[in-house]
Amino acid sequence: MPHFDDGFRRTLADLFAWRRDVRRFRTDPVPEEAFLACLDLARLSPSVGNSQPWRFVRVSDPARRAAIVGSFERCNDAAAERYADERAALYRSLKLAGLREAPVHLAVFCDETTEAGLGLGRATMPEMLRYSVVGAVQTFWLAARARGLGVGWVSILDPCDVTASLDVPASWRLVAYLCVGYPQEEHLDPELVRHGWQEADPAAAALLER
């Protein structure tokens, strides 16, 4: 059995703290060995009934990547219309994706028709399949950060556009579209805090007792 000492726990805490949602990437290529190592670690993530429902799709084709950028731009324009006045101006000033700069695009889907796991643990909570994929995304993210890589999770996309653009089975559901690469800059605070969008929410730190 491995021994996790205080030094390791401090380093692990640093890894969690320095995991940022990156939008500003250098264009340097990501070493293939490092990328595949992160995927291998992601596949160690827990999943309901050992179903392993994650499906990883690296998007390298320029036309498909351009289609994703187009979806982001349409969805981002629509999202901006939800705000008014100064908040709308602030929204439009934010950099919310690194799709054009990031050397790696990684779409992560949930295969909701998988036979693996034989349905164990998800009869009452079928959403556990997607939660399992979220766990794999987080594992990939931390593994990437430990190698000096940054990850940005782009949610301002139409999932149907992404599924069609990437020509994957219709039964797969998009969970995450990730940009991966080396960050242009390093910050301990989240970018949305730094640029005045949202401060830390005290309710998120609350622990309720029942």
Question: Distance between CA 162 and CA 174 in Å, rounded?
Answer: 8
pLDDT, tens only, 171-187: 999 999 999 999 999 88
Helix (H) or strand (E) holding 153: strand 150-153
What is the pLDDT, as a whole number, of residue 121?
A: 87
- Mean pLDDT, residues 75-101 taken together: 94
What is the pLDDT, as a whole number, of residue 19?
A: 93
Per this entry, what is the length of the chain?
210
Every domain of the chain and the residues it spans: 21-197
pLDDT, tens only, 122-165: 999 999 999 999 999 999 999 999 999 999 999 999 999 999 99
Helix (H) or strand (E) holding 47: none
Helix (H, G, I), strand (E, B) or coil at 42: helix
Question: Distance between CA 13 and CA 9 in Å, rounded?
Answer: 6
Q: What pTM, to 2 d.p., does this model score? A: 0.93
CATH superfamily of this structure's domain 21-197: NADH Oxidase (3.40.109.10)
- Mean pLDDT, residues 36-61 taken together: 96
What is the pLDDT, as a whole number, of residue 28?
A: 94
How many CB atoms sit inside 10 A of residue 105's CB? Answer: 23
The overall average pLDDT reported for the chain is 94
Q: Please give the residue that has the higher pLDDT: either 59 or 193.
A: 59
At 78, which amino acid appears? A
Q: Are 99 and 65 in contact (CB under 8 A)?
A: yes
